[in-house]
Amino acid sequence: MKSYLAAAVQMTSLPELQKNLVQAEELIDLAVRRGAELVTLPENFSFMGEEEDKIAQAETIALHSEKFLKTMTQRFQITILGGGFPVPAEGGKVYNTCLLVGTNGEELARYQKVHLFDVNVPDGITYRESSTVKAGENLPPIYASPELGTMGLSVCYDVRFPELYRHMSAKGADILFVPAAFTAYTGKDHWKVLLQARAIENTCYAIAPAQTGRHYGRRQTHGHATIVDPWGVVLADAGDAPGVAIAEINPDRLEQVRRQMPSLQHRVFA
């Protein structure tokens, strides 16, 4: 593993596939021009709209999203995480799918979100992700890159379930991906502290691309795409507007923190 720059992209995705892909390409280009070799896109990067529209267009969204990710990696010669897009599943539902793609356009890892956001948020909005999304059944995959480190995949609401991240760190993860479309209401209180907790307790970097602003109807997201180091220090925060958070992923820092705080070696209950 070498030192390199990683980018957490922040978008305001809409119910319009092509507009979203144009926005994503512009932000990937910006990240690359700033030196990023690993670029991460948020959950719902290619489509964020009403549930019935997502289902109706799922096949098209999935096809174009995967093609886009592979094209971008080949064009810019970088590794890209596509943080979440619908892929048709049985029963008329979709998998909320996170895809890691390498520099030659090859699929490195695929994760189907297991924890679905079925919550009555105190701001009066009710979310029922399970109405259109089929939960994945497998633990998050780990991909070991000789240059970029060992990476673990997750999506948004997963961040509230620390056992997933403990699994990833036990499998050797150095970097935890948390692409999200966090609600504005919960994000203001929970987003930063949850990311810091996952990074600290697993002595890993956390890279969390995010959605921000108003997308459709009453759907509004928190923003603050963030990169956190293994000590819990926030290295980069994209704020409230579309853009990129960029920070160095440094193996020496990783080793230093794990040496100073060897908590993973002290676990009693594995």
> pLDDT tens digit string along 44-63?
999 999 999 999 999 999 99
Let me know if 156 is a catalytic residue. yes
Nearest to 81 by CA among 15, 19, 18, 140: 140
What CATH class does 4-263 carry?
alpha beta
| Residue 100: closest CA among 56, 164, 154 | 154
**pTM score > 0.95 for this model?**
yes
The whole-number pLDDT of residue 124 equals 80
3 state SS of 192: helix
The one catalytic residue among 66, 70, 134, 156: 156
Catalytic residue among 43, 70, 134, 192: 43
How far apart CA 65 and CA 85 sit, in angstroms, is 7
Predicted confidence at residue 270, as pLDDT, reads: 75
pLDDT tens for each residue of 96-107: 999 999 999 999
Burial class (CB in 10 A: 0-12, 13-18, 19+), 83: buried
Task: Compute the half-sphere exposure of residue 166: CA atoms within 13 Å on the CB side of its CA.
Answer: 11
Q: Which of 37, 54, 70, 113 is catalytic?
A: 113
Is the pLDDT at 210 greater than 80? The verdict is: yes
Longest dimension (CA), the chain: 52
Q: Name the residue with tokens 């029922």.
A: 128
Q: How many residues does the chain have?
A: 270
Q: Compute the Cα dihedral for 14, 17, 19, 22 and give only its sign.
A: positive
